[in-house]
Amino acid sequence: MSKPKIAMIGAGSLIFCKTLVMDILATEALAGSEIRLMNRTRPKLAKMEAFVKKVIKENKLPATVTATLDRREALDGADYVINMIQIGGVEAFRMDYEIPLKYGVDQCIADSIGPGGIFRALRTIPVLADMAADMNELCPDAILLNYANPMGANCSALGSVADVQFIGLCHGVQTTLDLISRYVNVPKDQVDYVCAGINHMAWFLSLRDKRDGRDLYPILKRNIEKPEYYVNEKVRCEVMRHFGYFMTESTGHLSEYIPWFRSSKRALETYCDQPDFGGASGAYYHYCNMLAEKYKKVDYLATESPRITGRSVEYCSYILEAAETDRPFRLNGNVRNDGYITNLPQGCCVEVPVYVDSQGLHPVTIGELPVQCAALNQSNVTVQELAVEAALTGDPEYAMQAVAMDPLTSAVCTLKEIRDMTGEMLEAQRKWLPEFKGAKLTPRPMVQVTKNTVGVDVPLDPALAIANRFGELAK
């Protein structure tokens, strides 16, 4: 039996790391794995190591586990690297949400796009670049599985700096299929689909019933016109009504990716009034902060059973199993766009079908997206690419320009407000942004113009003079 070496970076993420470890140890082909837990601080790491040892002993598995604060030690000779880092933790996350809110930018999740997502990228991408460099040296044949957000920007950066195979993983497709299954009344495993686009904005391009080949889109489109269906996913249903295709992200997240649903009180009250994660301001930050406060008092892992009962829907263990057994597995994953979607930029991050086997990752070529779908994706890709440029160069102007191009922010703020907000966030998060090395955003105060200001007399462009003349005639 093979003994795959699995490095888990960011193993202090107790809930998520625990889920992935349990999935791995529940998989027969991976039951003998050498699991290497790595975190930057010891307390959570020690708890995770103790729990994994308990799981191995309780279930009589041949796996082993070690823990280290040294990333290079964890990576040395690894077959798989699973990344779960969150630079700055809840403290930085609070700033990602609260500072933009002062300027009128109301984010629901704030971890993938918008000012919050951009600054999470600025904190994370330099660390990912260092990790990729270590992998290129220490485990060049390993596959990197990235779970860290912002997925699009992070994977776009990896595509420009990493020589190793990598894939970004999200559960948006699986959870959306659960919803679609209910809306069209077809079992989830009987829905044949093609889904592609970018992370959190991938489009279900086709939906068919495997049993008889019928097109399920007419049923979905009819049902979302019924209030009892529409009310559950107002934003996602509204986008399909106007753009023609259903997306992989829920109302709360999708509402902050586009300019139409959170840029005014009227829009928020109309589309984002659902409880929980239906679109409430700061929903995800408040949830994460609640968990952080709770687990300061309660040891989460002490209350969890070490008994293995099955696997979650997360893709990780299935990818590793396919690579180890050569039994192909299909998923939707985030990869560098090497011609897979032809009307999105080469080299950006796209989310497309991917097959995995013992030879590695095999993304599927989709070709062109419907033009309106590509246009909406491009509005986010532009932000991601500017954020990557800012993170890799440490240039605060690129950071400001990324925020300025964000669809929601640009619908709410002036350029001066965006510059002021970006500057405030840079100063507040200095300790997590060493790449900026004290660089500051140059202020651009308003030019004062009064009724007594005299304009400079400049020669008028001939074409403009003609246009003005026709304007005068029209009067």
**Distance separating alpha carbons of residues 325 and 243, to the nearest angstrom:** 41
Q: What are the residue ranges of helices labelled H in 329-370?
A: none
Q: Which residues pair with 196 in a beta bridge?
A: 203
- Binding residues are 149, 170, 200
Q: Are 98 and 405 in contact (CB under 8 A)?
A: no
Hey, is 442 helix, strand or coil?
coil
In degrees and rounded to multiples of 5, residue 255 shows phi and psi of: -65, -25
**Distance separating alpha carbons of residues 327 and 331, to the nearest angstrom:** 13
Q: Are 191 and 207 in contact (CB under 8 A)?
A: yes
Specify whether 257 is catalytic. yes
Q: Which long-range contacts (CB under 8 A, 24 or more apart) does 39-43 make?
A: 39/10, 39/11, 39/12, 39/67, 39/69, 40/12, 40/69, 41/12, 41/69, 42/69
Task: Report the candidate in 144, 255, 199, 145 with the shortest Cα–Cα distance to residue 381.
Answer: 199
- What count of residues does the chain have? 475
Give ∠ CA 181-355-7 in degrees, rounded to 5.
105
**Residue 352, both tokens:** 């497309």
Amino acid at 2: S
**Distance separating alpha carbons of residues 419 and 441, to the nearest angstrom:** 8
Location of structure tokens 């790391």: 17
Torsion (CA) 351, 170, 41, 35 in degrees, nearest 10: -100
Specify whether 171 is catalytic. yes
Catalytic residue among 147, 257, 318, 398: 257
**Residue 131, both tokens:** 């990790």
**Distance separating alpha carbons of residues 166 and 405, to the nearest angstrom:** 27
Q: Are 38 and 85 in contact (CB under 8 A)?
A: no
Task: Report the candidate in 373, 363, 336, 344 with the shortest Cα–Cα distance to residue 206.
Answer: 373
Number of neighbouring beta carbons within 10 Å of residue 167: 22
Catalytic residue among 171, 229, 230, 295: 171
Give ∠ CA 236-122-131 in degrees, rounded to 5.
105
Location of structure tokens 């000012």: 115
Hey, is 85 helix, strand or coil?
coil
- Binding residues for Mn(2+) are 170, 200
- Binding residues for substrate are 149
**Residue 68, both tokens:** 């280290």
**Distance separating alpha carbons of residues 156 and 385, to the nearest angstrom:** 7
Instruction: List active site positions.
Output: 171, 257
